Structure 1
């Protein structure tokens, strides 16, 4: 059975998950992530992650680091043009696309 992609959880009611949360939700089973952990990531969406990094990238990096997998940051930047949320938004690159790209890049590392 294929998993539901992270983008499918982004800003969907009733949870209304942000980019960081949606990324975690998309990999919840693969990484055994609790709903409480996903809720904790509410604080890191919308450009609020450390250094203004995109929340989807922030969550992806956290997952990969915990799994001992390599970073996706350079590939993410190559695909989106930026690392930080404000820069991504300024370039009019849609947030759902960032979530999709981060999801695809994490999936490739697994």
Structure 2
């Protein structure tokens, strides 16, 4: 599936996932990037070009919205639709992990 189709399919790329999660509380671009690095413990980062491309797509899909704008900063927040999308993605990932644990008998290997 092409990345552009993931939102249409009801699935989130890692970038979309972390941006939506980061924007549970309002943030501007630089703070979004720092928040993502912090919450992922440095395992995921996003650069400015990718961030703002993703923000545009999330705005178009109404998963985030602009809450405040000044000459220097735009502040975004996840919408109710975005929160629902995020919760669905979390459940989808939980099911994927559950399947993997069954396949690999993960619990027995511990």
TM-score normalised by L of structure 1: 0.27
Indicate the structure with greater strand content. Answer: 2
